[in-house]
Copies of this chain bind each other. A is one copy, B any other.
Amino acid sequence: MANALPTPKILLVDDDPDIIELLAYNLSKEGYETASALDGIQAVDLAKTFKPDLILMDVMMPRQDGIETARQLRQLPEFKDTYILFLTARAEEYTEVAAFDVGADDYIVKPIKPRALISRIKATLRRDVQQTDNETVIDIGVIHINRTNYSVTNNGSPLVMPKKEFELLYFLAKNPNKVFNRDELLEKVWGVDVYVVERTVDVHIRKLREKIPEHYIKTLKGVGYMFSIEE
């Protein structure tokens, strides 16, 4: 799956190991990192260290049900914004109301159809990206960058830019006059779990410099690269 962002982490909570296995299999196949707990109490503990982006949890569980678990999680500040999706045997209304009351983001009805599940999870996580990914347009000098259509213009004339190049330019331009060393750029643009050789950055910088006026991207020898506003 994708791109530049760290792989989302999903915590699975269900007392049925078969369900866990089914979920884990399908989610990891899609590139998600998963951890699992067999009941609500374990789930709260595990969540603290695993720090999931999204929790997929059965409503009915021994020891402590999903609703109560969600309530506890929501009280902890670090899970205030974590997405919680419930798994429920059928769309039973009482449950649904209670679930949304504790801040559920969606509920998924069993039996689980893997494709549907994945699609719901993607949709949920996508909201996240859209929120944090605020700025869609950057204007610096004659350069105009528009994230909604991945377009860049130099003095009005459009530049064709493949994805990685665009992302690199976008990142640098978003943080003008700030130096980044190659490691930092790899982490922010390529993503934390992507291993590529540092020199790869040089090549992309080169390609950018072919397209936009020289002076914008400065090299600071021994330090890194920077998008400079000055001439």
Contacts and interface: CB of A to CB of B under 8 A. Distances in A.
A63 interface: no
A22 interface: yes
Nearest to A114: B100
Contacts of A120: 192
Interface residues of A, number: 47
Contacts of A184: 126
This protein's copies in its complex: 2
A133 interface: no
A96 interface: yes
A210 interface: no
A70 interface: no
Interface of A: 3, 18, 21-22, 25-26, 91, 93, 96-97, 100, 105-106, 111, 113-116, 119-120, 122-123, 126, 148-151, 158, 162-163, 177-179, 183-184, 186-187, 192-193, 195, 220-223, 226, 228, 230
